[in-house]
Amino acid sequence: MTDIGDADLVGRAHREVFGDVRPASTMVQVSALVRPEMKVEIEVYAIIDEA
C-alpha cells in the first residue's frame, strides 16, 4: 500500500472478503505503485484441484 495509515481500512476489507478464512498476508508501505491512483496492490496465487 502507498499509505500505511490505511492499514485499518485494508484490514477491514480483507476481513469482509475472507471472513474466517485467514490466508497468509503481509502489509508493507511502498513509495508508489505503477499508476498514481492505485493505493493497494494484491498478489494472489491459487491452486485448483481438478480431481
Sorted by sequence, the CB contacts under 8 Å of residue 7 that are 6+ apart come out as 1, 27
pLDDT recorded at residue 2: 97
Q: Reduce the secondary structure of the chain to three states and give it as a string.
A: CCCHHHHHHHHHHHHHHHCCCCCCCCCCCCCCCCCCCCCCCCCCCCCCCCC
pLDDT recorded at residue 30: 97
Q: Which cell numbers in the block locate residue 26?
A: 503481509
State the pTM of this model.
0.72
List per-residue pLDDT tens for the chain, 51 residues long. 999 999 999 999 999 998 888 888 899 999 999 999 999 999 888 888 887
Sorted by sequence, the CB contacts under 8 Å of residue 3 that are 6+ apart come out as 29, 39
- Domain residue ranges in the chain: 1-51
pLDDT recorded at residue 23: 86
